[in-house]
Structure 1
Amino acid sequence: MPPIDDDDWSDSDEEAVSEVETSVLLGTPDGAITTAADLADAAVSRIGGHPAFLPSNEPPFSSSSCKICTKPMELLVQMWCPFENSPMDRALYVWGCAVPECQTKDGCLRAWRGLRYNDAYAAKLEKKLAKQTVKKTSTTPKTNPFSAGAAPGPSPFGLGSQIFGDSAPASAPPLVDEDEASDVEAESDSSDEELLTALGATTLEESPWKSAPSYPPLYLSTCSEYLPAQPKLKLPPGVQVVDPLEDAGKDGKDVSWISEAYENSLDVDQVFERFTKRVGFEGDQCVRYELEGTPLPYATDSVTELLFPLPRAPPLPVTKAAFTVVPPAKRSYDPSAVPPCPVCKSKRVFECQLMPNLVNVVRTGDAEKRNLTDEERRKLIEQELKRANGSRGMEWGTCMIFSCSKDCSLSDVGKEARESWREEVVLVQWGV
């Protein structure tokens, strides 16, 4: 857990010191991937390395090409992230170009999602949904698809204890009756084996992907985000404060940090200040994941203007008698400006964002390759110094990925397909 900031707390002896879980999942580096099986498994989320593809037909190598310099880019992250109650296995891939001339230009970061129909899980899902319909279990709370125990993967960004041990965030089990619980227990022994079998990745042997530039591969582990609780106000007897965000929580989790509107101030970039404060509670985070959630903007720029537009305001009075004090306008999240999916025409929703620490992680991993000679290590150090001087390196603040809300798997002619490979929208905020 991050250390508690004493400045955020009341000195009241009656106030309990605790932390509040948000609806955001954080992805952090968790050691080098050294086994060939994990490198080839599409369900093993990673930083760097080569991609492990879901579609049986290998995607075109041009998927990783920078749209500015046309050179192949390094894989930044690959995330195993199926949608809840979907029969499709799903992984998200993000590539980034480190050529300095390409920075700040559209197309130097690209995100793709790969889908593949999972017959084994589809059969179980059909049986599960049929039982829910018959027993009218609509009161069962909706679980986060990336929390432990949710469908279709048993844990976020991976295969639970088989890969990440106890690193996956804990969560309460879904509510089921005794008959359904017995079915789950009877099938649990075979579930993992069937899933592993279904996730055999496309081989990269004799493929241009095998020789593509890459960073050293690292496991991408996940944990829930915890923030210090807001201090309780000391109010006179009988005085009550009504919080409009009180009923906006998801699954009982605090959302006040992400639902807060931004004031339109030119004096201080409060967007950047809030970004650094929020991220400071867990500095190792490389990814923030919150499907259909609210992105955390990095600074006041065109992307923030697009996603957090100023609300319409009544015209200002022109007569002296009508002069009034006008409070600062509040900016609230509105993703309607993000272009829809070009295939199914559904809206796109925020899925995740890459954080500045990811740049530090891939650079450090590049310089810490094992079994290097002294001469090779010296050259790597020289390269890092050149990057620090601006000759090569990524300089973005955050990269937001918006995905098709229907997670469609359609062919180019609009028919349902068992596999899909589609590019999604990336909005980049650059350094301040």
Structure 2
Amino acid sequence: MAAPPAQELTLIGLCDGELDSKKYQSSYHTNKVGGQPDWLPLISRRYPRCGRCGAPLAHVVQVYCPLDASPYHRNLHLFACPGAECSAGPECWRVLRSQCLEAEVAAAQTPSRSVPAQAPPLSATDWCDTADDWGMDEGGDDGWGGGVKEDSQAPAPEAPAPEAEAVSDIDVSSQLQDLTLGESQEDVPVLRSFFISVMDESDLGEEEDDLQHAQRLLKEYEKREGVKVGELDDCGEGGSAEEKYEKTRARHGDAIFSRFMKKISPCPQQILRYCRGGKPLFVSEPPPNMAQMVSACGSCGGSRTFELQLMPALVSLLQRKDSGAEAELEFGTVVVYTCRNSCWTVGSRSALEEFCFVQADPDQQLFK
């Protein structure tokens, strides 16, 4: 049975305080900004390099995002070059996906325990309506750890043609050839780390409806009493969200950007949006051939689907560790597309590269 449209559920990530490594030991379950990446137990510690200047990339975001009908733990790691001339270039960003079975995690913790040779493969058609809950199921280590189903069963996908296998091997090799093992930690830029908390965007809509209802009651009161109390201000000092949006629209005259601003106006501090299988929120007009630009999965040759995007409010959080200086990262949004089948080989030690698309911000100071 096919899953219902994923667009109905959009999750937004918010900064939830600094992650102090002296007080809290993060793991692959942790959703965070910056810091060192927490790889799954079997995954090799690899640090990608900038495709433009060759410098090692800084770890920007880590998301724990298992799929509901999958037996795998699953992580996405985004990296970017903090160089002043690099952050806006697509070749200066990398996104890596890694997966691991619970049995493999247990075996890594207990070396004498053997790892099963086979595991039920993931079928995209078996996703249910909670497949995109981004770890929000109850019972997780930190409230986000749901979605890993060890007992999940799925029909085996058709084997790829020999030609597809050959292309896949070449593609994966070429994608990972500039990843380096054993990179000295001193050489890798580290950003200050912050927890990411999550909420359902539809909850914001309820708050907005309440505000509109209150404004309507106020206007009725003013009309009935013949007095002018003033407009409700839901943004504190400086005017309402609607007023700020109108000013932005007049300033830019860009329908795409105006739509972007209106969509995020209930919560402009959001740093990440997650809606696997949904539609990204572009900050400016995307290329007309956007669908063709999103390349096929380098591992299985299948198509990719939108999964998450980084938002402009994240930029002000990207500061170098033990330093007050901000990193040189500037962007409007970074849109991530991942393998629709989330393909994976049991026992693999190498993270797979996915596709990201970077848009510059037409007015970055609005978010600082």
Q: TM over 0.5, yes or no? A: yes
Task: Give the AA of the match of 2:274.
Answer: Y
Match of 2:306 in 1: 350
Question: Are 1:81 and 1:90, in contact at CA under 8 Å, matched by a contact in 2?
Answer: yes
The amino acid that maps onto 2:288 is E
Residue 129 of structure 2 corresponds to 142
In the TM superposition, what is the alpha-carbon distance from 1:34 to its structure 2 partner?
A: 2.1
Work out which of the residue numbers 262, 272, 281 in structure 2 matches 1:277: 262
User: In the alignment, residue 217 of structure 1 is paired with which amino acid?
Assistant: S
Q: State the distance in 2 between where 1:148 and 1:401 align.
A: 18
Matched, 1:224 2:224: no
Q: Tell me if 1:405 matches 2:340.
A: yes
Larger Rg: 1
Mean alpha-carbon deviation: is it higher for 140-149 or for 81-90? 140-149
Structure 1: runs of 5 or more not aligned: 1-20, 123-129, 131-139, 163-167, 169-205, 233-266, 308-334, 370-376, 385-391, 411-415
1:70 maps to 54
d(CA) in 2 for partners of 1:304, 1:23: 26
Does the 8 Å contact 2:305/2:338 carry over to 1? Answer: yes
What does residue range 224-243 of structure 1 map to in structure 2 within 5 Å?
Answer: 224-225=200-201, 226-227=204-205, 228=208
Q: Secondary structure of 2:342's match?
A: coil
Shift of 1:106: 2.7
The 1-side partners of 2:295 and 2:182 are apart by 33
Matches within 5 A, 1:183-194: none
1:154 to partner: Cα distance: 4.1
User: Does the 8 A contact of 1:55 with 1:114 survive in 2?
Assistant: no
Sequence identity (%): 25
User: 1:105: Cα distance to partner?
Assistant: 2.5
The Cα RMSD (Å) is 3.6
2:94 to 107, 110, 134: 110
Q: Distance in 1 between matches of 2:287 and 2:10?
A: 20
Partner of 1:338: 294
2:55 maps to amino acid: K
- TM-score when scaled to structure 2? 0.62
CA distance change for structure 1 residues 209 and 294 in 2, over 3 Å: closer, same or farther?
A: farther
Count of residue pairs the alignment pairs up: 261
Q: 1:219-244: per-residue Cα shift (whole Å, max 9, x none)? A: 11111112345999xxxxxxxxxxxx
Distance between the aligned counterparts of 1:353 and 1:117, measured in 2?
Answer: 26
**Aligned twin of 1:45:** 31
1:283 Cα offset (Å): 1.6
Measured in 1, the distance between the counterparts of 2:184 and 2:274 equals 27
Question: Following the alignment from structure 1 to structure 2, what is the Cα–Cα distance between the partners of residues 147 and 394?
Answer: 26
- Aligned residue type for 2:278: G
Deviation string, structure 1 residues 254-306 (Cα, Å, up to 9, x no partner):
xxxxxxxxxxxxx9420000111112211221110001110001112xx3433
Distance 1:229 1:145 in 2: 25
Assess, with a 3 A threshold, how the Cα gap between structure 1 residues 149 and 213 changes in structure 2: closer, same or farther.
closer
Shift of 1:23: 1.3
1:159 deviates by: 2.5
CA contact (8 A) 2:66 2:72 kept: yes
After superposition, the Cα gap between the structure-2 partners of 1:347 and 1:37, relative to the gap in structure 1 and judged at 3 Å, is farther
